[in-house]
Amino acid sequence: MSTSVVEHGNARPSLGQVLDFAWGRGPFTATEAMAGASLTRSTTIDAIDTLVDLGVVHELANARDAGEYSGGRPARRFELPADLGAVIALDAGDAHLGITITDLARAPLAHLRTGLDPQHTVGQRRATILRHLEAALAESGVPRDRILALCAGVAAPVARDGSSPPHPAGFWERTNPGLAEVLAGWAPVVQVKNDAVLAAAAEGDLGEAVGCRDYIALVAGERLGAGAVVDGHILHGAHGGVGEMVLFDHVRGVDSADGLGPVTARLARGLIEAGEASPGGPLVALLADGLPADRILALAAARDPDAVRVARRAGEFLARVVAVLGSTYDPERVIICGAIADGIEPVLDAARDALRPLLDLPAPVLLRSRLGADIVLTGAISTALAAARSVGLPQLVAQRLRG
């Protein structure tokens, strides 16, 4: 984190170093902080006492009062309280909005999920997002001046300034209706990120890519989107377009950026229309419900022969997608993310078999995400907490020093 915290114009790096040590640690002693922050004892104690005076660090009961005393002078104990501030995460998709507010220990304080009208104008979408954001903040009980960071995920490429480039059909401008500007006053740090980038952040922080430096989080439900991490860095590009999947319009056997949901339904319908499915079988029975992908995959997991054939063909489709990503980014792992991941194993089994001959490089390991449908919110929380640690909290301390 930034270790420069200002007191009357003078840098106090020691305050930042102690804050960095204390973040997410729970109770600690001055001796532990001294070692962890690489400071002298007197400097450590001075920094801790300053932070206690500012109400940023709390002094706890000493070891004797806490029942941990074993002789000698009891050590003073301190903690950076999780309720010192909060962060906001948004997932603004084409037709849905998710908002989560957490404390600094990631404990949820409010959660909201609702639909968004894809036909809304930019102005209507802005107003709707702000209205629900105000409602979530009220539910959380957190004063607005205690919000240390905010991160919003959108279904569009996002440049470094939080804007999205124009889209031929206006889709990107609608899904990211100038959120960086609209939300600018909500926190010391406001970030807008592509949803697949946030999925990659979530997998690296809490999921299947912990400790991995080269991986792709493939959001694969309705539309394909890839968050690419190479050499430990999430890739963005000049316009935030790394991982945009329009390239698959030009890949034989893939032919579009449609995700595994519509592709699985399309393959099932093709199997039925070709007369290859059992007329009285459970796959044909799903026609009345529109051939939902999750139920097709559940049938495949139960070894229904028709659904297994669909899953195998969906796996061949996925293998072509992964082969292109593997040749482009050389990942160690490709993680299938989103709600579709819950039942994806039959497809992954087929994709693993089909992938090997499609690559000259070693094939990436194919995994399913275990972070669920809210993975974009999970990544937005991780991103907002990192910003709160590096910027929001030091700014809070600087304000209290000046005040």
- Three-state secondary structure readout of the chain: CCCCCEECCEECHHHHHHHHHHCCCCCEEHHHHHHHHCCCHHHHHHHHHHHHHCCCCEEECCCCCCCCCCCCCCCCEEECCHHHCEEEEEEECCCEEEEEEEECCCCEEEEEEEECCCCCCHHHHHHHHHHHHHHHHHHHCCCHHHEEEEEEEECCCCCCCCCCCCCCCCHHHHHCCCHHHHCHHHCCCEEEEEHHHHHHHHHHHHCCCCCCCCEEEEECCCECEEEEEECCEECCCCCCCCCCCHHHHHCCCCCCCECHHHHHHHHHHHHHHCCCCCCCCHHHHHHHHCCCHHHHHHHHHCCCHHHHHHHHHHHHHHHHHHHHHHHHHCCCEEEEECHHHHHCHHHHHHHHHHHHHHCCCCCCEEEECCCCCCHHHHHHHHHHHHHHHHHHHHHHHHHHHHC
Residue, of 198 and 70, whose pLDDT is higher: 198
Predicted local confidence at residue 60, as pLDDT: 95
Specify whether the CB–CB gap between 202 and 382 falls below 8 A.
yes
Residue, of 56 and 2, whose pLDDT is higher: 56
Angle among Cα 34, 36, 41 to the nearest 5 degrees reads 5
pLDDT digits (tens, 9 = 90+) for 358-374: 999 999 999 999 999 99
Give CA separation, 125 vs 94, 149, 209, 350, in Å: 10, 22, 34, 40
Predicted local confidence at residue 13, as pLDDT: 87
Residue 16, token pair as written in the block: 């930042």
Residue 6: band (very low, low, confident or very high) from pLDDT cuts 50, 70, 90:
very low
pLDDT digits (tens, 9 = 90+) for 108-145: 999 999 999 999 999 999 999 999 999 999 999 999 99
Residue 209, token pair as written in the block: 């890519």
Specify whether the CB–CB gap between 337 and 203 falls below 8 A.
yes
Predicted local confidence at residue 75, as pLDDT: 87
CA–CA separation, 296 vs 276, rounded Å?
Answer: 15
Kindly tell me if the per-residue pLDDT of 12 is higher than 80. no
Question: pTM of the full predicted structure?
Answer: 0.92
Specify whether the CB–CB gap between 16 and 6 falls below 8 A.
no
Give CA separation, 120 vs 96, 129, 173, 194, 229, in Å: 12, 11, 12, 20, 33
pLDDT digits (tens, 9 = 90+) for 301-311: 999 999 999 99
pLDDT digits (tens, 9 = 90+) for 51-108: 999 999 999 987 555 555 555 567 899 999 999 999 999 999 999 999 999 999 999 9
Kindly tell me if the per-residue pLDDT of 350 is higher than 70. yes
Q: What is the mean pLDDT of residues 147-157?
A: 97
Kindly tell me if the per-residue pLDDT of 2 is higher than 90. no
Kindly tell me if the per-residue pLDDT of 339 is higher than 50. yes
Residue 7: band (very low, low, confident or very high) from pLDDT cuts 50, 70, 90:
very low
pLDDT digits (tens, 9 = 90+) for 257-271: 999 999 999 999 999
In the chain, what are the domains? 6-80 (1.10.10.10), 84-207+376-390 (3.30.420.40), 215-370 (3.30.420.40)
276 closest CA partner among 243, 310, 317: 310
